[in-house]
Structure 1
């Protein structure tokens, strides 16, 4: 770590004078965000003049997430480079199967991949007019996977109990790996396009899509190019802003999936207050905020998957590396057909934004 005794004071100064976010301060200091937080924990913390204090947590992640329900209403935050997804609610109905966890609380709807969770902290930060409490979790590269921010109505006594139960005072110093280079996905050898399209036509559940990609050893964006126009069509990237604005105007309830390799976070319901700000398109509703950086969207696709409930159609957004940024569906439950108003909205977007083929 980069001279950890100076990091807390540098952080406090930059937060107060420049109002920068944690991840931006870490980048300026030349460290990962996990290292930034770890520098504020234990004996590494200077005696005074520091606005943030952190407690390292034991890596008993499923047990810890189950205890978050006792905190009451909180704000869940999951992000990737291009999209921040914030949702308020209670962490009801937490479960785990192997390394995969679920929180199915309605408002808080999570798919958790614990094999990518490497470190976690309870964080207390003194702001200008308040104290902010949070739980923050990071991968082996020091990149944030998920954060939980307490709200005014949250149970602070339950947080104290959680910290006591899960604190890891004897943890070894944080070890961060260098992130691997991002390589452009290549078409697999001996790829059978006909068999792939038959497999796509034979899908019966949206969740079967991931196993189909693994079977054919193909990336998601390459799969969309090979699917054929019946199942995947590329649009211009302006569609990301336009579909959110149209969904708000027409009050079409949507499902918005945002995530990273350790977490997928889902909003289900209407969006109302949608505002563009520079390169960002923002949803600023009472219990759901989304911040989508449109200049980092390299590809946008309408994707159609056969299921036992009929076609399920989505808008899927990707960055320049082919990584999934965000997916939008019409709100629906298993066993229900897709909403006609969502299908109509996608048809409108297709008419306005379909890319012309060279």
Structure 2
């Protein structure tokens, strides 16, 4: 990107115009419309009187290890089609090379640090008395991986310590380099059914073994859905997802909701209470957990069955027009236990 003042000024002016026309438009969607990354768009505000942005000069893992000190916050992870927001307290970071885990009743994350490039501490003056504070993490393309938003219950001092210890004032953007993102679209139209692949699927012992199965046969996840259709998978109508979620609300069925981007998987576990469609968005709007799913960007929804040592495990997987996995839904489960019967009953409502 050309980081000249003229370019920055022009982009900021176009963004202001967008915000006037579509005040509810999220920054990621604004960036997509303007043809730049979210982080690049955010940085056009760096000299504003209303916002203070510090680039954190530290390995992201060091910040992740300190997140529990922030207390009660909101964790946000998203992709192009889905936003996953979970309030709570971070647990300890468990790190194994570039792979990380934060396990907790509130915030449950699988972290892939090789994708984490930039970390920002942001303070935005919302009105005369309120300042919004957040930590935001981006990849080499300037796409947001994960965000932590503070609130009145959060430990402000811990945030300020992170900002002051690691923060750098961004005088100019010359030191920042953003790669150009090119969508990798997998074409499954020429993939033929492989007997060995389906046999290997039938011999799965754990749902986590599925990733190895895909690598072994060198196929994408969506290709696997097509190959296994009629045996382990079934294509669903778009309305099926809302029917399923409404059924979970009606019967207080605890579920697991996984939202993916290359740098993180964010997971919510628990019952849901309020499902609502607002425009093109299918939403879960609960006090501690929100999900926002843009149905206009969805291409395929699949029921998936995997054998395990604990019996059959069923899920619903949602894919976008770029053939990328957007979100997964499971019944709440733990290894060593059979899948919940109420979850199976809810699935039968959309499979008949």
TM-score by length of 2: 0.91
Query: Are 1:6 and 2:5 matched, yes or no?
Result: no
Query: Are 1:141 and 2:141 matched, yes or no?
Result: yes
CA offset digits 1:199-242 (Å, max 9, x no partner)? 10111111100011000000111111212423111111211222
CA offset digits 1:96-147 (Å, max 9, x no partner)? 1111111101110001111111111011111136211001111111111111
Q: Displacement of 1:310 after TM fit?
A: 0.8
- Contact 1:8/1:52 (CA < 8 Å) preserved in 2? no
CA distance in 1, matches of 2:324, 2:199: 25
CA distance in 1, matches of 2:299, 2:11: 36
Alignment match, 2:86: 87
Gap regions ≥5 residues in structure 1: 352-358
Alignment match, 1:179: 181
1:292 counterpart SS class: strand
Alignment match, 1:354: none
Query: Are 1:195 and 2:208 matched, yes or no?
Result: no
Q: Displacement of 1:305 after TM fit?
A: 0.7
Aligned residue runs from structure 1 range 13-52, under 5 A:
13=16, 17=20, 19=23, 20-41=25-46, 45=47, 50-52=49-51
Of 201-210 and 174-183, more deviation after overlay is shown by 174-183
Could you list the runs of 4 or more consecutive aligned residues of structure 1 that deviate by over 4 angstroms after TM superposition?
11-18, 168-172, 186-189
Q: Displacement of 1:167 after TM fit?
A: 2.1
Q: CA RMSD in A?
A: 2.3
1:87 counterpart SS class: strand
Alignment match, 1:155: 155
CA distance in 2, matches of 1:82, 1:29: 17
CA, structure 1 residues 219+13, in 2 after alignment: closer, same or farther (shift >3 Å)? Answer: closer
Alignment match, 1:78: 77
CA, structure 1 residues 148+15, in 2 after alignment: closer, same or farther (shift >3 Å)? Answer: farther
- Contact 1:38/1:174 (CA < 8 Å) preserved in 2? no
2:243 counterpart SS class: helix
**What is the aligned residue count?**
344
TM-score by length of 1: 0.89
Alignment match, 1:205: 206
CA distance in 2, matches of 1:67, 1:226: 44
CA offset digits 1:43-67 (Å, max 9, x no partner)? xx2xxx5322210012411111011
1:34 counterpart SS class: helix
CA distance in 1, matches of 2:94, 2:108: 12
Of 266-275 and 121-130, more deviation after overlay is shown by 121-130
CA, structure 1 residues 65+79, in 2 after alignment: closer, same or farther (shift >3 Å)? Answer: same
CA offset digits 1:290-346 (Å, max 9, x no partner)? 011122221111101111111110000111221001100000112111100001111
Alignment match, 1:64: 63
CA, structure 1 residues 118+245, in 2 after alignment: closer, same or farther (shift >3 Å)? Answer: same
CA distance in 1, matches of 2:79, 2:15: 25
